[in-house]
A = this chain, B = another copy of it.
Amino acid sequence: MSRAWRTSTEAFERDASLVAKWAAQHMQEAATAPIWSACSPGDLLKSLPEACPSDPVDVETVLAELKSHIVPGLVRWDAPGWFAWFPSNAHPHALLGDLLASCLGQQGMLWLSSPACTEVEMRALSWLRQALGLPDRFDFDGVGGGVIQDTASSAVLSCLVAARDRATQGRARRDGVDSAAEPLTVYASGEAHSSVLKAVHIAGIGARQFRPVPVGPGQGMSAEAFKEQLEADMASGARPIFCCATVGSTGCGAIDEVEEIAEVCAAHDIWLHVDAAWAGTAAVSDAFRPSIIAGADRADSWCFNPHKWMGANFDCSCLWLADRRPLIDAMSVTPEYLRNDPTESGSVIDYRDWHVQLGRRFRALKIWLLLRCTGVKALGAMVEHHVELSKLLERRIASIANIELAAPRSLALVCLRHVDGDEATQRVLDAINQDGALAATHCRIDGAKAIRIAIGTLAVEQEHVDALARVIELSA
């Protein structure tokens, strides 16, 4: 029966082809459209009707509106000259997997509510684990396992709460955090992602109990510095519970001494979480695997974001655990309306107990299509290509007067600065971002401003790195 709120499957098919055509055209413009939006704050808001529209229009009309009213406010994260923050790649194969996930409309909170969403995710995580060379203790055979979360921020929060509850034998969960009597300390490199501190806030542990460990010359956390901090804390009565080791820091791609840190953690029963959000993808290449996965065989949890470098469009963060039980203990609450036979039997994985959210999307499908249709080999070649390009940039920079590396190149991330200091560095950064076809952002290294060049879009080629080097040279 025809109803105003329905569209036919024929209409869906027709509209989907319109949208795909529009999107294909849009994607093709990535190389020529200006990267940064020219909009000022409020411009878009002003251009969009204030009143909620009442009468429906067709998809063609909306696509035209999108072009005129919304596209001017976009930032071209997909441009080949995008070197800002980190890549947030949306590979066409992943896009299609994600479209399928939307169309299938699965709600994977329980095994029963979608066996496919659950078991395909389990298998996809095992495939990715193999592709990265991670240890098989992260598989489901024993007490380990993996889960797809939305972001590395959610993943570190989940693990921190699990660690908190494990260390307090459930007291924190039952009675609440007792920070005055039992301060629980949390460790990460001073260069670790802001999500670690955010998780400390949210979990009720308190910012005062967060220990950003001073980094060494390579900007990574050394086991020695970690241990020193740890011993001082224990001497003053603190209870260390969690350490986040970073493999590829956001600022300059620094890699902590994970293997040695793991030893210290093991000696003091501290949960070791590894955050390889960006750099993790590099482990698909044999060339880079060893430095990425070092220490993973002793980590309690290990996380990377396929939605960054790998191209499994946002959101998609993979988290593996050596022992899934503390996470499930921390995250599970079972109301009557979710009780069911497979769950009670204990023979299934119910992923709602693996993160903050109850409901969950069939995210494994975008991993599936990316691995099946693009393939691990091609992804490895992509990583190697990006690292080659950053080596090229490194060489180009060496020949530019007044510009120097601000930190050692890490994989495909190059940080540079002007020898005259922050103002001069900012001038170079402004020149890059004013170009239209190039984008970069900044960080601070040892107190000084640095320009971050993160190479990693699907489309980048030598010509774009050359263009970047030219702008740097001209503005230096």
Q: Is A324 an interface residue (CB 8 A)?
A: no
Q: A6-B459, A251-B336 are in contact. Are A37 and B115 (CB under 8 A)?
A: yes
- The reply to whether A195 and B358 contact each other, CB–CB distance below 8 Å, is yes
Contact B96 A56 (CB under 8 A): no
Residues A385 and B208 in contact, CB atoms below 8 Å apart: no
Tell me which residues across on chain B come within 8 A of A356, comparing CB atoms: 153-154, 157, 198, 202, 356
Instruction: Please give, as numbers and ranges, the residues of chain B lying within 8 Å of A374 by CB-CB distance.
Output: 4-5, 7, 56
Q: Which one of B72, B100, B120, B195 lies within 8 Å of A19 (CB-CB)?
A: B100
Task: Give the contacts of A93-107 with B (CB-CB under 8 A).
Answer: 93-96, 98-100, 102-107
Nearest residue, chain B, Cβ from A61 = B372
Q: Which of A16-64 contact B (CB under 8 A)?
A: 16-17, 19-28, 37, 39, 41-45, 48, 50-59, 61-62
The 0/1 profile, CB within 8 Å of B marked 1, for residues 358-391 of chain A is 1111000000110111111111011001000000
Residue of B whose beta carbon sits closest to that of A195: B358
> Which one of B5, B20, B52, B119 contacts A12 once the chains associate, using CB atoms below 8 Å?
B20
CB distance from A404 to the nearest CB of B (A): 19
Among A56-88, those with CB < 8 Å from B are: 56-59, 61-62, 65-66, 70-75, 77-78, 85, 88
15 extra A-B contacts, CB within 8 A, seeds A44-B115, A70-B120, A175-B208 = A20-B20, A22-B100, A41-B115, A41-B348, A45-B122, A55-B375, A66-B100, A153-B358, A154-B356, A173-B206, A174-B207, A175-B180, A250-B337, A251-B335, A339-B442
Contact B127 A74 (CB under 8 A): no
A209 within 8 A of B: yes
- Interface membership of A1, Cβ < 8 A: yes
Q: Hey, what's the 0/1 contact readout for A326-351 against B, CB within 8 Å counting as 1?
A: 00001101111111001001011000
CB neighbours (8 Å) of A242 from chain B are none
Question: B59 near A373 (CB under 8 angstroms)?
Answer: yes
The verdict on A177 contacting chain B, using a C-beta distance below 8 Å, is: yes
Are the C-beta atoms of A250 and B174 separated by less than 8 Å? no
Given contacts A75-B113, A95-B99, A99-B95, contact A333 B55 (CB under 8 A): no
CB of A116 within 8 Å of the partner chain: yes
Interface residue? A313 (CB, 8 A): yes
Binary contact readout A124-155 vs B (1 if CB under 8 angstroms, 0 otherwise): 00111011000000000000000000110110
A204 in the interface, Cβ–Cβ < 8 Å? yes
Is A161 positioned at the interface, with any CB of B under 8 Å from its CB? yes
Q: Is A381's CB under 8 angstroms from B177's CB?
A: no
Task: Please tell me if A229 contacts chain B, counting CB pairs below 8 Å.
Answer: no
CB distance from A392 to the nearest CB of B (A): 15
Q: How far is the CB of A197 from chain B (nearest CB, A)?
A: 5
Q: Is the CB of B11 within 8 A of A116?
A: no
A202, A206, A330 — which one has the most chain B CB atoms within 10 A of its CB?
A: A202
Query: How many angstroms from the CA of A382 to the CA of B41 in the assembled complex?
Result: 37
Contact of A461 with B by CB under 8 A: yes
4 A-B pairs with the lowest CB-CB distances in the bound complex, closest first? A204-B204, A176-B206, A176-B179, A73-B116
A and B contact pairs by CB, cutoff 8 A, 7 listed: A5-B311, A5-B458, A9-B28, A9-B92, A23-B103, A56-B373, A174-B208
B107 touches A102 (CB 8 A): no
The answer, yes or no, to whether A216 is at the interface (CB within 8 Å) is no
Q: Is the CB of B17 within 8 A of A359?
A: no
- A474: CB under 8 A from chain B? no
| A102 x B95 contact (CB < 8 A) | yes
In this complex, the member of A27, A65, A177, A209 whose beta carbon has the largest number of chain B beta carbons within 10 angstroms is A177
- The answer to whether A57 and B373 have CB atoms under 8 Å apart is yes
Closest to A70 in B: B116
Instruction: Collect the chain B residues with CB atoms within 8 Å of residue A461's CB.
Output: 1
User: Is A89's beta carbon under 8 Å from chain B?
Assistant: yes
Alpha-carbon distance A79/B317, docked complex (angstroms): 30
Partner of A250, one of B95, B335, B377: B335
Contact of A206 among B22, B28, B85, B174 (CB under 8 A): B174
CA A291 to CA B50, docked complex, whole Å: 26
